Structure 1
Amino acid sequence: PRSPAGIDKALQKYRDFSTGVFAVRELILFQSNLTPQGALYTRLATFPLEG
């Protein structure tokens, strides 16, 4: 797993990223497993957003 410091570094790198407004209805947490055929992504959890 990546360290919180790695997350902070990524946030700093993209701090000036900008996009248009869009609605987010849910967050999905994925796990990535590397295989010789490529990455396999497994949905671990879904977090519906309200409001």
Structure 2
Amino acid sequence: MVEEKSNEITVIPDLVDKLQIKGQVIAIDVMGTQKEIAEKIRSKRADYVLA
């Protein structure tokens, strides 16, 4: 869940920062298909599937 005036684009980067995702595959729907989000996931040495 996200706050009323927010959306996944602003929340996903914060969530990625808080999680230990090294070596994991992160799946995100179309709302999270953002270059910055993909770069953040890769910087934490994880992979992603963006639909």
Alignment TM class, shorter chain as reference: under 0.3
User: Which protein shows a greater Rg?
Assistant: 1
TM-score by length of structure 2 reads 0.24
TM-score by length of structure 1 reads 0.24
Which structure has the highest strand share of the two?
A: 1
Which of 1 and 2 has higher RCO (CA within 8 Å, sep 6+)?
A: 2
Which structure has the highest helix share of the two?
A: 2
